[in-house]
Amino acid sequence: MKLQQLGNTDLQIPPIVFGSNVFGWTLNEQESFEMLDLLLDAGFNTIDTADTYARWAEGNEGGESETIIGKWLSDRGVRDRVNIITKVGGDMGQGHTDLSEAYILQSAEDSLDRLQIEQIDLYLTHYDDETTPIKETLGAYQKLVDAGKVKYIGASNLSAERLSKSLELSRKHDLPRYEVFQPEYNLYDRQKFEEGVGAVCEEEGLGVIPYYALAAGFLSGKYRSEEDAEGRKRVGMVQKYLNDRGYRILHTLDEVAEKHGISQAAVALAWLINRPAVSAPIASATQKKHLDAFIEATEADLDEEDMRQLNEVSAY
């Protein structure tokens, strides 16, 4: 599989980044190991996680995904073949977001321990914390970079204004710069990114790795009514897509998928891969057939008419 440079880093990533929020929740440790083996064998070498994954599941405290990945890296001896992305700042029980220096430095140590690695390839600000000065946050990252514990930094879920201010302060004070941004962006959820932070990413040359690439599974075509989602863990997440615009998008996905002989999920991922602002979408998989959609997406040859149809039906 052809790898590509991520933004202004030297990280070489595939066309799709694997989202490991399913580890320690939807998939247990053994199932997670099996999925990771399949991913690496297929050429997908970049894993996205966070300290908060999967804190939302009953009985979890956070760190479950990182712990599973760390055990797999150690057991398989493949650290040198894998890029690790993790995040800091989310609620790990403190009841609020936190980007203070002390919190970041301790959280980085905790993530390194769980992941059983010496350096995080890409460390992201997960959520904003407006109570902590941006300069303090970037200063904490400076200490981690200087210590060799973090290679590059990025951000997720920041407003265009806050991202711009962070980049400005990086330049002004010669502090580490956010090189990658992780927004919510998919065929349905376009407006917030395209009319907001997307312009900053383009102007500043940031790599873009969108999450919710399949809109919580909606763009795979398996949720076409509330009944389809009943009893599933994502029922509350897909309800917002069950409307006329969502159904029109699914209809067009059906048409393009049939034309190319691939799955709807593959088409939705391929649309993102072909968007000029996007470096690589993030997507999760819990079964081998989901991974098959990743491979289909990387090999899909969407033409101008396909992209026009998809752009028009998803217009906001």
pTM exceeds cut of 0.85: yes
Q: Is residue 146 part of a domain?
A: yes
Domain that holds residue 22: 4-182
Q: Does 307 reside within a domain?
A: no
Q: Judge whether 147 lies within some domain.
A: yes
CA distances 204 to 14, 166, 207, 218, Å, are 22, 12, 9, 32
- Cα–Cα distance between 226 and 231 in angstroms, integer? 10
Count of domains observed in the chain: 1
Tell whether 28 is covered by a domain.
yes
Residue 99 placed within a domain: yes
DSSP string of 136-197?
A: HHHHHHHHHHHTTSEEEEEEES--HHHHHHHHHHHHHHT---EEEEE-B--SS--HHIIIII
pLDDT computed for residue 192 by the predictor: 96
Q: Decide if 178 is inside a domain.
A: yes
Tell me the pLDDT tens digit for each residue of 52-102.
999 999 999 999 999 999 999 999 999 999 999 999 999 999 999 999 999
Element housing 254 (H / E):
helix 244-260
Counting residues of the chain whose pLDDT is more than 90, the rounded percentage is: 94
In angstroms, the CA 198 to CA 183 distance is 9
Separation CA 269–CA 251 (nearest Å) = 16
DSSP 279: S
Q: What is the rounded average pLDDT for all residues in the chain?
A: 96
**pLDDT at residue 194 is higher than 60:** yes
